[in-house]
Amino acid sequence: MKILAIDTSCDETAVAITEGRRIISNAIYSQIVIHKKWGGVVPNLAKRAHEEHIDLVIEEAVSKCKKRTSSFSLKDIDAFAVTYGPGLGMALGVGINKARELSFKYQKPFVGVNHMAGHIYSSFVQNSAGNPKREISFPYLALLISGGHTELVIFKDHDEFEVIGETLDDAAGEALDKAAKMMGLGYPGGAVIEKLAKKGRVDFHTFPRPMKRSGDLNFSFSGLKTSLFYYYRELPEKEKTNQLYDLAASYQEAVFDTVIFKLDKAMYKTGITSLVVGGGVGVNEYLRGKIRALVKKHDGTVYFPARKYLYGDNAAMIGVAAYFKAKKNLYIKNPQELEREPRLRLSE
Q: Which residue lies nearer to Zn ion by CB, 173 or 210? A: 173
In angstroms, give the least distance from the CB of 188 to Zn ion.
Answer: 13
**What kind and span of H or E run contains 99?**
helix 89-105
Q: Is the dihedral of CA 73, 74, 75, 76 positive or negative?
A: positive
Q: Which residue lies nearer to Zn ion by CB, 7 or 253? A: 7
Phi first, then psi: give them for residue 71, nearest 5 degrees: -80, 0
| CB-nearest residue to Zn ion | 313
Separation between Cα atoms, residue 185 and residue 177, nearest integer Å:
9
- Binding-residue pattern over the window 134 to 163 for Zn ion, x denoting contact by CB under 5 A: ------------x-----------------
Q: Which residue lies nearer to Zn ion by CB, 210 or 305? A: 305
Question: Could you say which residues in the range 210-269 bind Zn ion, by CB under 5 A?
Answer: none
In angstroms, give the least distance from the CB of 53 to Zn ion.
Answer: 18
Question: Could you say which residues in the range 181-200 bind Zn ion, by CB under 5 A?
Answer: none
Separation between Cα atoms, residue 229 and residue 206, nearest integer Å:
14
Out of 7, 12, 170, 313, the residue judged to bind Zn ion by CB under 5 A: 313
Q: Does 170 bind Zn ion (CB under 5 A)?
A: no
Separation between Cα atoms, residue 83 and residue 9, nearest integer Å:
7
Number of CB atoms found within 10 A of residue 31's CB: 21
DSSP class of 49 = H
Separation between Cα atoms, residue 128 and residue 205, nearest integer Å:
47
Nearest Cα residue to 126 out of 24, 4, 29: 24
* Total interface residues for Zn ion by CB under 5 A: 2
Amino acid at site 342: P
In angstroms, give the least distance from the CB of 95 to Zn ion.
Answer: 13
Question: Could you say which residues in the range 80-109 bind Zn ion, by CB under 5 A?
Answer: none
Output Rg (C-alpha) for the chain, integer angstroms: 20
Q: Which residue lies nearer to Zn ion by CB, 192 or 315? A: 315
Which residue ranges make up the annotated binding site for Fe cation? Answer: 115, 119, 313
In angstroms, give the least distance from the CB of 180 to Zn ion.
Answer: 19
In the complex, the residues that contact Zn ion under the rule CB under 5 A are: 146, 313
